[in-house]
């Protein structure tokens, strides 16, 4: 089956956590073309002391650095990060003044969350079992351009896990933040211990920023669109339980913008489906495999119609190269005896072959199967 171009995020080998961000590319003939790698919440380097020394002289630089140190001692941000008294005032809430040459302020929109991604090798039942969402709570994060590890207030409200939406919450009020710089990228890893029905439970949220700017805008949204000068990416990884029952799951932002690909499918009897797919920043995939997310679905069965946007009711199960993909849609409420739909796409490189629609009851057992006419469009 010939598939249209699709931006992708390259995965790493299944048993080796991929480097934060992976690479974005186009998908052609179910394979990827390498392109510019996406990046996570990280900032570019400021003007170096050597550059300042060249322009202003070593004596002046020494005085300037001493003054900066003196002023920074008296002012700390809400995440304990030293900031300049002469910074940018971002408003009357708890967010601090700061210097855009030294830090990046990232605002977190109300309701922002991260949604679970897929893993190569898991079937749709296994993907459904580990579906989840991380709800963010803080209004903003201040990301300094200083490497090291420190303790800061956490910004996660809760993690919901499995179709039962088991609730996990941060233990205490603080989390450990590790800041690393690799080239033009800054990585901010927040490690959070969680209280909940399964233990141990540890969450790592990684924000990566890649930028050529020496001074940042006064503030930028966590959902900001990437530009040539600044790319922001957020992801997370959950380690839950131990031994044979241990779960490892990855998450990307739920808000991924307009769909990268739309699938329209229909049966001979007139039932219709529209699936919207987008590309996340993190999953367990290898080689030329895309971190796909099923973000929306429209279902028409007879005269009944539903539009599903709840991430707990939309499950993508992919394989290597995103071939033989399956999509599970949980209906709310059920339409007659049908509580869910399982869609299987046509075989790769096929011409004119049909997909398959399976109607599932409340126990997720197949009650009947229909062939699907299939059309994909960017």
Mean pLDDT over 361-372 rounds to 98
- The neighbour count for residue 107, using CB atoms within 10 Å, is 19
pLDDT of residue 121: 85
pLDDT of residue 95: 57
Contacts with 222 (C-beta within 8 Å, 6 or more apart), sequence order:
41, 106, 107, 108, 109, 112, 136, 232, 234, 253
Q: Say whether pLDDT at 72 is over 70.
A: no
SS3 sequence, 144-188? ECCCEEEEEECCEEEEEECCCCEEEEECCCEEEEEEEEECCEEEE
pLDDT top residue among 187 and 30: 187
Q: Band of the pLDDT at 304, cuts 50, 70, 90?
A: very high
Q: Say whether pLDDT at 76 is over 60.
A: no
pLDDT of residue 217: 83
279 within 8 A of 302, measured Cβ to Cβ: no
Query: Backbone phi, then psi, for 293, in 5-degree steps?
Result: -130, 130
Q: Say whether pLDDT at 51 is over 70.
A: no
pLDDT top residue among 12 and 230: 230
pLDDT of residue 272: 98
Max mean pLDDT range (15-29, 92-106, 143-157):
143-157
Matching residue, tokens 């941060």: 170
Per-domain residue ranges for the chain? Answer: 8-36+257-377, 49-99, 105-253
Q: Band of the pLDDT at 24, cuts 50, 70, 90?
A: very low
What does the pLDDT look like over 185-240, one tens digit per residue? 999 999 999 999 999 999 999 999 998 888 888 789 999 998 999 999 999 999 99
pLDDT above 90 covers a percentage of the chain that reads 59
């Amino acid at each position: 089956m010939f598939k249209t171009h699709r931006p992708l995020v390259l995965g790493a080998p299944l048993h080796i956590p991929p480097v934060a961000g992976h690479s974005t590319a186009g998908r052609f003939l179910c394979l990827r073309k390498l392109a510019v790698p996406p990046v996570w919440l990280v900032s570019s380097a400021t003007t170096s002391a050597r550059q300042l020394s060249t322009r202003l002289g070593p004596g002046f630089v020494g005085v300037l650095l001493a003054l900066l140190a003196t002023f920074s001692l008296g002012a700390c941000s809400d995440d304990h990060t030293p900031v300049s008294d002469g910074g940018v005032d971002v408003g009357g809430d708890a967010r601090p003044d700061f210097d855009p040459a030294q830090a990046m302020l990232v605002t977190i929109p109300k309701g922002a969350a991260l949604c679970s991604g897929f893993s190569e090798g898991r079937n749709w039942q296994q993907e459904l079992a580990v579906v989840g969402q991380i709800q963010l709570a803080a209004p903003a994060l201040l990301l300094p351009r200083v490497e090291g590890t420190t303790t800061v207030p956490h910004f996660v409200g809760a993690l919901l896990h499995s179709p039962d939406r088991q609730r996990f919450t941060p233990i205490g009020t603080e989390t450990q933040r590790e800041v690393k710089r690799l080239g033009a990228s800054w990585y901010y890893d927040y490690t959070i211990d969680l209280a909940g029905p399964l233990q141990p439970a540890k969450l790592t949220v990684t924000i990566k920023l890649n930028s050529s700017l020496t001074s940042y805008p006064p503030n930028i949204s966590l959902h900001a669109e990437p530009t040539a000068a600044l790319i922001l990416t957020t992801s997370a990884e959950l380690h839950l339980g131990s031994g044979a029952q241990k779960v490892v799951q990855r998450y990307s932002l739920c808000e991924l913008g307009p769909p990268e690909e739309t699938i329209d499918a229909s049966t001979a009897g007139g039932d219709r489906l529209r699936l919207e797919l987008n590309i996340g920043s993190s999953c367990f995939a290898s080689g030329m495999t895309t971190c796909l997310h099923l973000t929306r679905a429209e279902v028409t069965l007879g005269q009944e119609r539903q539009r599903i946007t709840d991430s707990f009711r939309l499950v993508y199960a992919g394989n290597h190269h995103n071939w033989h993909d399956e999509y599970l849609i949980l209906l709310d409420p059920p339409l007659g005896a049908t509580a869910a739909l399982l869609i299987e796409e046509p075989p790769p490189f096929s011409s004119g072959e049909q997909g398959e629609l399976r109607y599932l009851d409340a126990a997720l057992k197949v009650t009947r199967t229909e062939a699907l006419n299939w059309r994909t469009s960017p």
